[in-house]
Amino acid sequence: MLRFILQRFFGLMVTMFFVSIMVFVIMELPPGDYADRYAFRKYSGTGVNVTQGDIENIRRDFGLHKPAWQRYGDWIGGIITKFDFGESFAFETSVNNVIGKRLWLTLAILFCTLVLTYLLAIPIAIYAAIRRHSIADYALTVFSYLGLALPNFLLALLLLYVSVTIFDSSVGGLFSPQYEKAAWSLAKLLDLLKHLVVPAIVLAWSATALQIQTVRATMLDELNKLSVTAARARGIPEWKVLLKYPTRLAINPVVSTIGFDVNRIFSELPIVALVLGLPELGELLIQSYLDLDMYVAGAILLMLTFFIVVMNFISDIALAFLDPRISLQEG
Amino acid sequence: MDPNLLIDVQNLRVSFRTDEGIITPVEHVNYRIKREKTLGIVGESGSGKSVSTRALIKLLPKNAIVDPESKILFNRGNGTEPLDINLLPAGSKEIRKLRGGEIAMIFQEPMASFSPVYTIGNQIMEAVRTHRLSSNSPLAATSTVGTHISESLKAKYNNVSKKEARSIAVDMLRRVGIANADLRVDQYPHELSGGMRQRAMIAVALSTHPSILIADEPTTALDVTIQAQILELMKELQTELGMSIIFITHDMGVIAQVADEIAVMYLGTIVERGPKEAVINDPLHPYTKGILRAIPKLNNLGARLEAVGGDIPGPHERPTGCPFHPRCPQRITKTCDKLHPERIEKTPEHFVRCFLHL
Ligand SMILES: Nc1ncnc2c1ncn2[C@@H]1O[C@H](COP(=O)(O)OP(=O)(O)O)[C@@H](O)[C@H]1O
Ligand code: SF4
Ligand SMILES: [Mg+2]
């Protein structure tokens, strides 16, 4: 098992290395470089005549005169050793300052969405499979098709409308106005959770529908296995048979798609965030592209892919623990 | 009930609700199992061997209906009334005690019988801890099926501990001939060979010291040498543990090696049943004669070609009258296709359903 974990960890490092190179290439793509944009931003409209020499000086100040591989080294080195993602050109402060809060809020949304998806999908799917052909089973099937068909942002708008008109509460943003600037407290945390519910429901909606279908199908498969009949023939109580044998295996496809779910949540988050007015990373990523604020864009891209890769790693390891056949095959 | 009998099945009839209506693939089934003896059930695939034996522990799919008139009598011994298993509700505690505890079962596919994600030992210990009382319990020696032990007494003499169950598991693996049992106990099914898995499956089944083992085609998936070893092992354990066996197969050659009594099934009915020698040396039913001729003999390998002609009808096209009449070379027109033959005791303990023996 240790060997399997080390192998996967090595894989993670290699993936991150290639990802960081790709991100760096993307950061270099816009025409001109940081010095050009810095000079333009700083002196335009001030009447100062910027010479080629001035730009050259700025370039030297920022180390931009070095070859690309050295600049990549500086950038990634700063991130690894000092957790320094560089300077934001649009905000005129460090990238860390710009991203900071949004990073934690994005992670909070991600975490809430995943928990909500799995808490709903797994028990519902298992129930539907055990009560196959019951009214509940058919109702859930209809629901899950609906879930797949309804676009996210539409659901977000709907929930926004419902909560404002019926519950008279603001779901937009992450905090109610009175907590916006307040220091962290239990009340503020509860307020945050209250605001996370709607985005979590919106983002969990289609994933839940999808997972219900996969888990239900796997569960039906597992229920027909001879090993389940054999366990019943041993006189094990039915609830224990169901939990220990088919359920345990029906969870595997969920675990193996955690990375996929994270990926999907990150892609859907910006639209949902836009509708709900959430200050998260995806929205900032789009803004930073528009501003050509490439250090910010790079940092966000790197972080989002890092989470996906790490979640994939976790899901691989968890799966190996759940299914002893996996680590033996490859180990 | 005759104290030598363990199980007496009378008029077993099992139907299934299907999308095309109700089918009754098992009907007019009567068989008895003597203590410490082996009943061999032989019949083509689909003849109802599995359904008619799984009914003994109500291990049937949800769409199955067992006729409430059918009787499945289980002899609890010491002069008590026999227990009619058919009267017990499917999910009841009594049924669960019977399953594994008194009536254990092994299946054709040893690999599929084990869950791949738990060790062999885990699955043996699960059976042991479900059924066996701790060895220092005075209740351990008595059968607990159908007897009402007060809850307080049960709490006092708990089921075996994990540690004890593990040593029972290791011991059981050793007894079924698995070397390095103390290492094997922690291995997963895929780490064992096919023959070893079937041995382990036998270990799971026998770890609770059941009164009877139902072996549903236990050697069909194994190659011939391993098959012979498993048959030998089952015989050994039978004498050692003093249990009865129902051995299901579609291979008359295998039945001849293991059975004391033989029941021949055709289309959900036992068409002939009797002591092994009587059935093999003096078969009464035309179907039995047909399958006996189909066993290849060393001096006459070509004889296999003489097998029973024709195809088995599907479950929705059960013939009227004698179920075998469309394929029977000796059928009596206007009788065999109209009337269902009753059970006839031709010689003591040798039964047949055929109008030729009226
Ligand atoms: N779940 C089920 N639903 C409907 N019919 C079934 C079901 N299980 C078994 N049967 C019917 O019972 C017949 C006998 O099956 P089975 O006892 O498994 O045969 P055997 O073990 O002799 O090969 C089958 O041919 C099939 O028609
Ligand atoms: S009853 Fe008639 S059809 Fe059936 S086996 Fe006997 S002779 Fe053949
Ligand atoms: Mg069968």
CA distance B342 to B344: 6
What is the distance in angstroms between the Cα of B355 and the nearest Cα belonging to chain A?
A: 39
Closest to B264 in 3D by CA, of B204, B167, B153, B353: B353
End of a domain among A95, A120, A135?
A: A95
> Among A47-56, B172-181, B320-329, B338-347, which stretch is predicted with the lowest mean pLDDT?
A47-56
Tell me whether residues B99 and A233 touch, CB distance under 8 A.
yes
Cβ neighbours of residue B282 closer than 8 Å, sequence gap 6 or more = B350
Contact A283, A274 (CB under 8 A): yes
Q: Characterize the bridge pairing of strands B103-106 and B212-216.
A: parallel
How do residues A179-238 score in pLDDT, each as one tens digit?
Answer: 777 888 888 888 888 788 888 888 998 889 989 999 999 999 999 999 999 999 999 999
What is the distance in angstroms between the Cα of A246 and the nearest Cα belonging to chain B?
A: 9
Tell me whether residues B190 and A245 touch, CB distance under 8 A.
no
Closest to B10 in 3D by CA, of B42, B33, B41: B33
- The position carrying tokens 């905090």 is A175
Q: How confident is the model at residue B136 (pLDDT cuts 50, 70, 90)?
A: low
Ligand nearest to the CA of B269: 1
In chain A, the number of structural domains is 2
Q: Is the CB of B115 under 6 A from ligand 1?
A: no
- For residues A79 and A111, membership in a common domain is answered with no
What are the DSSP E strand ranges found in chain A? 87-88, 93-94
Compute CA distances B346 → B55, B271, B293, whole Å: 28, 13, 21
In a domain, A281, yes or no: yes
Q: Which residues pair with B344 in a beta bridge?
A: B352
Mutation pick from A234, A238, A328 vs chain B, by most beta carbons of B within 10 Å, is A234
DSSP-derived 3-state class of residue B332: coil
The span from the first CA to the last CA of chain B, in angstroms, equals 28
In a domain, A182, yes or no: yes
Name the residues around ion ligand 3, CB cutoff 5 A: B 50
How do residues B194-220 score in pLDDT, each as one tens digit?
Answer: 889 999 999 999 999 999 999 999 988
Q: What is the mean pLDDT of residues B136-144?
A: 51
pLDDT of A141:
83
CATH of the domain at A251: 1.10.3720.10
A273 CB-side CA count, 13 A: 22
Q: What is the A41 CA–ligand 2 centroid distance (Å)?
A: 103
B260 CB-side CA count, 13 A: 14
Average pLDDT of chain A is 86
C-beta neighbour count of B115 within 10 angstroms: 23
For the cut 60, the answer to whether the pLDDT of residue A155 exceeds it is yes
Q: How confident is the model at residue A329 (pLDDT cuts 50, 70, 90)?
A: low
- For residues A110 and A133, membership in a common domain is answered with yes
Q: Is the CB of B249 under 6 A from ligand 1?
A: no
Query: Which 8-state DSSP code applies to residue B43?
Result: -
Q: What is the B22 CA–ligand 1 centroid distance (Å)?
A: 13
Cβ neighbours of residue B253 closer than 8 Å, sequence gap 6 or more = B295
pLDDT of A247:
96
Smallest Cβ–Cβ distance between B115 and the set A227, A237, A322 belongs to: A227
Tell me the helices (H) and strands (E) count for chain A, helix number first.
17, 2
- For residues A90 and A124, membership in a common domain is answered with no
In a domain, A220, yes or no: yes
How do residues B155-193 score in pLDDT, each as one tens digit?
Answer: 445 678 899 999 999 999 999 999 999 999 999 999 999
User: How far is Cα of residue A213 from the mean position of the Cα atoms in its chain?
Assistant: 22
Q: How confident is the model at residue B223 (pLDDT cuts 50, 70, 90)?
A: confident
Tell me whether residues B99 and A232 touch, CB distance under 8 A.
yes
For the cut 60, the answer to whether the pLDDT of residue A282 exceeds it is yes
Tell me whether residues A226 and B188 touch, CB distance under 8 A.
no
- For residues A13 and A73, membership in a common domain is answered with yes
Q: Is the CB of B18 under 6 A from ligand 1?
A: yes
For the cut 60, the answer to whether the pLDDT of residue A85 exceeds it is yes
In a domain, A21, yes or no: yes
Q: Is the CB of B135 under 6 A from ligand 1?
A: no
What is the distance in angstroms between the Cα of B111 and the nearest Cα belonging to chain A?
A: 9
pLDDT of B218:
92
Contact A198, A160 (CB under 8 A): yes
pLDDT of A112:
92
pLDDT of B160:
85
Contact A97, A83 (CB under 8 A): no
Contacts of B197 in chain A (CB under 8 A): none
User: How far is Cα of residue B24 from the mean position of the Cα atoms in its chain?
Assistant: 20
In a domain, A177, yes or no: yes
- For residues A158 and A234, membership in a common domain is answered with yes
pLDDT of A172:
66
pLDDT of A168:
60
pLDDT of A169:
64
DSSP-derived 3-state class of residue A10: helix
Backbone angles phi and psi of A87, in degrees to 5: -105, 140
CA distance A185 to A176: 14
Closest to B202 in 3D by CA, of B104, B332, B270: B104
- For residues A140 and A167, membership in a common domain is answered with yes
Tell me whether residues A248 and B117 touch, CB distance under 8 A.
yes
Backbone angles phi and psi of B302, in degrees to 5: -65, -15
Q: Is the CB of B344 under 6 A from ligand 2?
A: no
For the cut 60, the answer to whether the pLDDT of residue B143 exceeds it is no
Mutation pick from B95, B117, B131, B214 vs chain A, by most beta carbons of A within 10 Å, is B117
For the cut 50, the answer to whether the pLDDT of residue B302 exceeds it is no
Q: What is the B191 CA–ligand 3 centroid distance (Å)?
A: 26
| Closest chain A residue to B205, measured at CA | A234
For the cut 70, the answer to whether the pLDDT of residue A265 exceeds it is yes
Q: What is the B102 CA–ligand 3 centroid distance (Å)?
A: 21
Query: Which has the higher per-residue pLDDT, B161 or A35?
Result: B161
Backbone angles phi and psi of B12, in degrees to 5: -70, 130
- For residues A30 and A119, membership in a common domain is answered with no
Class of domain B112-209: alpha beta
Q: How confident is the model at residue B305 (pLDDT cuts 50, 70, 90)?
A: very low
How do residues B246-294 score in pLDDT, each as one tens digit?
Answer: 999 998 889 999 999 999 999 999 999 999 999 999 999 999 999 888 7
Query: Which has the higher per-residue pLDDT, B134 or B343?
Result: B343
- For residues A113 and A73, membership in a common domain is answered with no
How do residues B57-90 score in pLDDT, each as one tens digit?
Answer: 999 999 999 999 999 999 987 778 899 999 999 8
pLDDT of B303:
44
In a domain, A251, yes or no: yes
Q: How confident is the model at residue A280 (pLDDT cuts 50, 70, 90)?
A: confident
Closest to A193 in 3D by CA, of A177, A171, A178, A208: A171
Ligand nearest to the CA of B321: 2
pTM of structure = 0.84
Give the domain range for residue A212.
96-294
Q: What is the mean pLDDT of residues A34-51?
A: 74
Identify which of A26-30, A95-99, A225-229, A327-331 has the greatest average pLDDT.
Answer: A225-229
pLDDT of B299:
54
| Closest chain A residue to B209, measured at CA | A234
B86 CB-side CA count, 13 A: 20
Tell me whether residues A323 and B100 touch, CB distance under 8 A.
no
Average pLDDT of chain B is 88
Contact A306, A99 (CB under 8 A): no
Contacts of B208 in chain A (CB under 8 A): 234
- For residues A109 and A250, membership in a common domain is answered with yes
Contacts of A227 in chain B (CB under 8 A): 112-116
CA distance B120 to B173: 9
pLDDT of A102:
87
Q: What is the mean pLDDT of residues B350-354?
A: 97
pLDDT of A174:
74
- Percent of chain B past pLDDT 90, that is, above it, reads 72
pLDDT of B330:
93
The encoded tokens of residue A281 equal 């990373």
Q: What is the B351 CA–ligand 2 centroid distance (Å)?
A: 14
For chain A, what percentages of helix, strand and coil (3-state, to nearest 5) are there? 80, 0, 20
- For residues A43 and A135, membership in a common domain is answered with no
Residue range(s) occupied by CATH 3.40.50.300 in chain B:
112-209
Q: Characterize the bridge pairing of strands B350-352 and B344-347.
A: antiparallel
Contact B16, B23 (CB under 8 A): yes
Tell me whether residues A237 and B117 touch, CB distance under 8 A.
no
Contacts of A325 in chain B (CB under 8 A): 116-117, 188, 190
Q: What is the B324 CA–ligand 2 centroid distance (Å)?
A: 6
pLDDT of B145:
52
Tell me whether residues A235 and B127 touch, CB distance under 8 A.
yes
- For residues A252 and A277, membership in a common domain is answered with yes
CA distance B219 to B34: 23
Q: What is the B218 CA–ligand 3 centroid distance (Å)?
A: 10
- For residues A55 and A41, membership in a common domain is answered with yes
Backbone angles phi and psi of A83, in degrees to 5: 55, 40
pLDDT of B304:
46
Contacts of A323 in chain B (CB under 8 A): 116-117
Contacts of A246 in chain B (CB under 8 A): none
- Percent of chain A past pLDDT 90, that is, above it, reads 40
Mutation pick from B85, B115, B198 vs chain A, by most beta carbons of A within 10 Å, is B115
Question: Could you tell me which residues of chain A have a Cβ less than 8 Å from any Cβ in chain B?
Answer: 225-227, 229-238, 244-245, 248-249, 322-325, 328
